Structure 1
Amino acid sequence: MKTWLLILVFCMLAASVQSQLRQDSLLLVLKSMKDDESKVLLLIKIGQEFEKSDLEKAKSYYLLARALGNRINYPLTEVKFVSNYTFALNMQGKIDSSLYWNLKGIEAARKLNDDEQLAKAYFNTGTSYQYLSDYPLAVEVYQKGLKLFEKIGDKVFMAQAYDILQNLYSSMKQYDKARDFGKAAVATFRQLNNPKMLAYSLTNLGTVYGSINQKDSAQRYFKEAEQIAGEIEDEVLLSTVQLNLGDVYLWKKQLSESKKYSESALALAVENELPETETIALRSISYCYMYTGDCDSAFQYAERALAVSQKYKFPKQTILNLNQLASLAYLSKDVWKAEKYEIQAKELQDTLWNEQLLLNTINTEKKFELDKKSAQLAIQHEKINRQHLINWLLMIGLLSLITISALGYRNYSHRKRMQEQRIKELETEKQLLATQSLLQGQEDERSRLAKDLHDGLGGMLSGVKLELGAMKGNLILTEENGALFNNALQKLDRSISEMRRVAHNMMPEALINLGLQQAMQDYCDSIGSSGTFIVKTEFHGLEQRLSATTEVNIYRIVQELVNNAIKHSKAKEILVQVMLHERSLSITVEDDGTGFDSEKQSYTSNGLQNIRSRVNYLRGRMDIKSQSGRGTSILVECIIEDNV
């Protein structure tokens, strides 16, 4: 669902920007004030006035407030400084610095013995961890803050805490917990009669229900949020809610309603200068036109959406817009243009993935350095304690000085060697753990990207296919138009297959979860389910699992061979045989298509090169037999050496 999760940044004293007259007025008052607690609070207030116009100036006033507060011993100085200063750091994207100060804020709040200030400090720290994508630590500190808010019975902060936890668990895709916290937030804001915060919580809760495909519940919450947003004249929130409603109606195939809400959201986005909402609304309208068969209008809106996302540098939205344009190009039978858009989307996706990988690597290195510093500190404490012990022993008496010194020195040397050896072992273990964490992060990210691609674009293309299939049954077409219609359906099938292929290239989950034989059977069944091809399969000896790398390569070879038969041979029937006897593996893919002259045609296509690369990796050989008009037979043989 194309929406924003409205995360409430828990810097409790941050205020919105005011007019220049208001800033000048506060600065004038500042000149006449004495150095007391009121002046500290005024300096913080002035900093808040500059937060959205000049963040560096805002930070300078927070630092002045801190210096004055420490000079006059104002107890709340540190917690007030941290909550406001970290808000500015978050706005600047300096999340590491924000986390550093928020941890200090927790220490300052503990010294005050003030549960409310400590709870706020926990939530500020949780926000930093959430921005760093360290969700386990974010959950831990948020839960600590929530317990304190519940202890003191402050329902305003409790409701905000529930909403924050709703968004966090939704980001972690733990939708059951997100839903429970969302309901608690909505109920508490109703009780508090706070319409604005209620509308935000309703929007977030509707998003959670939309994520688990409970569209009726999502629609109900979005409708209520829309009514409240209209009453309080919050056009930013209203545009978001209407965008969500447009998605709900699009999912329900109520295209006129979806288009109406998307157009309303677009108008509000343009009026309030909300470029991300604008590009999403344009793409939603493009979907509506696409489903009604107006490809020209769909193209126009999709191209406008792409222009906005590229202008304001929204990479994720740009990828979605490029994929939409590729789908429209396929529907318009412009395969070259579709492939161009797909290549652009893939290149941008790879760039994002590399950036995320770099970020994960940096975070892992920082965690490792922090652990290393902690170990060094522990060693220093141990040395100090050991020295105290030696000094105490030396005080026993001069008579036993030589004996005690000798024993102490030998004991000291032995323990030092043991500790140095242990430190080296711990450092080696931590390096291994850091490497494992990095590799696991890479695999998790690939799995997430594959799932998002499959669930997002795959769902859209499948919806288009169902719509076209339903239209075909209700339309009377000439033979020529019927052939064109069927051709469009075939191209859509190929688009879906291509999307699945991309997702499987990232992380073939079916192969990992179900095994090689079942994954290949499912793939062949999916090809044959369209009715365009008859795919026969024979699998023998694949009950025992092979290594993950070997299974992936075998699966990809079969997948690429079948894809080549579908794309190039015009075959009606395809035979797939995979047999494993002891360590000898043979793969045969035959089709009854047009074939080609294997004596004259070279095999330099990307598909065959990819297959040859995988066959070479398995130390195997590939034999191609084909004649024009008599189909093609491809045999791959190799010896499997690594099984689990």
Structure 2
Amino acid sequence: MMKQLLFSILLFLSFVSTAQTVMNRDSLLRLMPAIKEDSAGVEFYINLGQQYEANEPELAKYYYRKAGTISEKINYEAGVVRYIFNYTFVLNLQARYDSGLLLNQQSVAIARTLNDPVLLGKALFNTGTSYRQLARYAEAAKFYEEGRKLFADNGDSFLSAQGYDILQLMYFNIEDYDKAIEYGQAAVKYLRTVDEPMWLGTALNNLGLSYIKKRKFNEAEQVYNETLKISKRIAHVEMESSAMLNMADVFLQKGEYEKLKPFYEKAVVLNKQLQSDDGLVISYRGMAIYYFFRKEFETAKAYALQSYTIADTNNLRMEKQQTMQTLSRIYFALHDMKSGYAYLRAADVLADSILSDKIRRNALDLEAKYQSQQKILRIQRLEDDKKIQQLTISRKNTLNYILIGSAASLLIISLLSYRNYRHKQKLQQQRINELETEKQLAATEAVLKGEEQERTRLAKDLHDGLGGMLSGIKYSFNTMKGNLILTPDNAQAFERSMDMLDSSIKEMRRVAHNMMPEALVKFGLDTALKDFCNDINASGALKVSYQSLNIEEVEFEQSTAITIYRIVQELINNTMKHAVAKNAIVQLSKTDDAITITVEDDGKGFDADILKAARGIGWTNILSRIEYLKGKLDVRSEAGKGTSVHIELNA
């Protein structure tokens, strides 16, 4: 239930001129009618927006946009960067981190074209903080490191102190609390020496987060008391709200529940003023916890349901999960076991979903990291070139043309960002599909191999076992015949039995041969298919013509050869069962990059569309084997015109 302060995102405040900084809001408003559209006007609107950002964020955004519009009109690139700094600060206060990241990336691209290392360093730190808020710590570290080097080279101690505060939040997020405390104390130590109360309050508030994690509650209480004094002295609502919530968390961790109420009540009022949804979720949940420990369970339930409604409406998943856990405990205390278990199960499901999303996102980010980074760099370079070109053209044309060019630039940037987003989604879905296909193919391969192994075992058992027994019986009968005196009728019956025994031996050998053709193992696919077609011809059931082209040059793997043989075997069996055909053709050929299989007949034909809904074992086996070989299937048939099946495989 702790809350970080986000002021460290904003590193540009020292830009504003001293004369304007000391002026209050009323003085600035009186000057507004006389403000011109020049660089001084940009400074004026940025300074005016800063007077509202802590208490009226939407009004602050309005004035910042005014500064940005003027900067674009007069081609004041530094002003555009500073507009982005201020505007994204408010976006981050409102938890709109994705929007803030896009604008901060633009500020880096523009700052790289200017000869101002300090401005670029601040843009890099702001962008790193946007990545950190999105839990993309690897990208955040990259931008922080580049910005830190620029600040060190410039020798600006105040910027270094702000950097220490940002780094303490970075290490807090990755749960290295000792390192976070080290950087936080360094930031506070320097900021106590300068008159920068807002930055001191920010660093103190963030330092307290790590103290709580290390269970140093006395130290945490001290820094939050100091933060509250600073926030009230400078009338900074966001700082006061965060300090209230964090101070309440100190007492909650210490088990001093009776002290929670005034802090959470005040946080509710402040977060309503700030229109901060996540702050309200935490504040209402804190009130619910306070009344829970006072055993006023109905009041606790009312506050928890308020917290849940806001979290659910704004899709604040982590806060929603914590609030559902709180609701579960309250319902259990009310002896409403059904509702208690319902919220507990929902909280567990949401926690698993959050964890799964994080794992999946990390896996996909790692997989596509290099390509994504290269794409972002190319897009940034294109945006830089486009921006420079538009600024050059704007100096030579009228004001109306400047406005049209600016609108077109924003549209192009939006389209490029959207295209990049869609491409990332496509890559992620493509990888998921590939993994699913690989899984299906592996399962199919295992089934096919198991089937062929079983066929081979059965063929061997039939041939070597049952075949040997039948041959032994025939030999015994022939021996007995010479030693018996039979009547003519008995002799005739004996001969018929011998004929039936011969037929059984032949049928057994035919079945064993179909299960695993000996010719396929010894002489290869071409010979096995030729023997198979000859056997069909000999049976008289169907006249089959077999043709092969360039197959002698191909060395098939045994699994591939068996799979192709089974496909042809199943297709011919289907022809004999269903087609009422007299003739059929089997063709096997190889071209430069493909192996083709064609099976045609002159049967009665059928509507090929019915195959889309076919569920027969034979047809399903054909499709599985073709999919295993990564082949393409084309079936063409019409009533009375026969059927043609064409299969194409990669050579």
TM score, norm. by length of structure 2: 0.48
Query: RCO greater where, 1 or 2, for CA within 8 Å and sep 6 or more?
Result: 2
Q: Highest Rg: 1 or 2?
A: 2
TM score, norm. by length of structure 1: 0.49
